[in-house]
Every structure is written in C-alpha cells, then in structure tokens.
Amino acid sequence: MRALLPLLALSILLLSAVQPRADAVQTAFNDAIAAFETARTGLAAENFGVDVTAYQDALTEGQFASRHWGGEIAVELIEPAENSGACARFAAYVHLPAHDGRVRMVVCPQFSADGTPALRRLTVLHEMVHVVAGADECRAMAFAARVELLANGAFTPVERYWRANDCDQSPFRLPD
Ligand SMILES: [Zn+2]
C-alpha cells in the first residue's frame, strides 16, 4: 500500500499547534478528493492533456507515475508559517518543474485565512493539475472547472482569471 502522503503530512500537522489552519487545508483536500471521485466516471483517460490516473494518484495518494515528468513522483506538501516569498501573492502554488522525484506544493497561510471552502476546493483541484501536468494556467482552470461541473452540476465563475491569462487563445475551454 502506498503512503497517503498529503493526508499523512496533514495528520501529523494536526498534532501540532496549528489545528484550525490544518483543518482548513485537510477539509479542502477531502472536498477536492470527494469532487474528483464523483467526477471520475465522467472523465476520459486524458482530459486537456491531464493524465487522469496520475491526477487521481497525486490527489489521493500523494504519489503518481508521471509521463509528464518521467518516473514516479511524490507530492510534497509544504505549509509555511508566514506569508513571505510567493505566499505574499498566492494562496497556494506549486514549485515547477518536478525535481529529484518530487513536486512541492506550497499551501500558504492565506489559503486558510481567506476565501470559502468552495474556493479552497477549487484551488486544490487547480494546483493538482500543475503537479501532474505543468504550468499552463488555462489547462489547470479548464480541468478544475470540468471536475467541478461533473461533481456539482456547476463550476466556479473564473472569467476574470480566464481573461487575465489570455485563455481564449489557448487550446483549453471552460465548460459551456
Ligand atoms: Zn495555476
């Protein structure tokens, strides 16, 4: 049995003093996993260039076999205590490319401090696309929106984000 890396890391965090924050992150991962598992049967093996099996393994087990990066890749979840560095601008981000068989996903303090459970779930779904398929913002948002739609019958409006990233010029599309 493979290690449940993100949840394992989170359960270790739960023993520490940052319980409310860890709860928000764990809830977001659990919500993202639940949405993905509901959406799973509606997804082809590959969607928008995302290998769905790799995505599932990355999200649920923190480890995946990657055609994109090559080989077996572990997802390393990092939760810095302060909003310094890139955390000054982002709620969460992924260090790319994969390095030494790892992709590092950083969940910043503002991830838990701001937003709603639905936005946190969307953020996890979105960042996990970066984990398995690289930096393209339009791919990440198109895939996350498809998962949301299949899971909930609706997806979060992301038009501003879509425009800001010139995604109309990309090969990716939001659901109709
Ligand atoms: Zn992104």
Secondary structure E strands in 26-71: 46-47, 50-51, 63-65
Residue 86's domain is classified under what CATH number?
A: 3.40.390
The answer to whether residue 174 sits within a structural domain is no
Cα 130 to ligand 1 centroid, rounded to whole Å: 7
Give the range of the structural domain holding residue 55, as residue numbers without chain letter: 5-169
Give the number of other Cβ atoms within 10 Å of residue 59's Cβ. Answer: 25
pTM: 0.87
**pLDDT (tens digit, 9 = 90+) per residue, 24-72?**
999 999 999 999 999 999 999 999 999 999 999 999 999 999 999 999 9
The answer to whether residue 82 sits within a structural domain is yes
The answer to whether residue 121 sits within a structural domain is yes
Cα 80 to ligand 1 centroid, rounded to whole Å: 19
- ∠ CA 157-162-163, rounded to 5°: 120
Q: What pLDDT was estimated at residue 176?
A: 85
Q: pLDDT-derived band of residue 21, with 50, 70 and 90 as boundaries?
A: low
Cα 140 to ligand 1 centroid, rounded to whole Å: 6
Cα 161 to ligand 1 centroid, rounded to whole Å: 10
How many separate domains does the chain show?
1
**pLDDT (tens digit, 9 = 90+) per residue, 140-158?**
999 999 999 999 999 999 9
Cα 1 to ligand 1 centroid, rounded to whole Å: 30
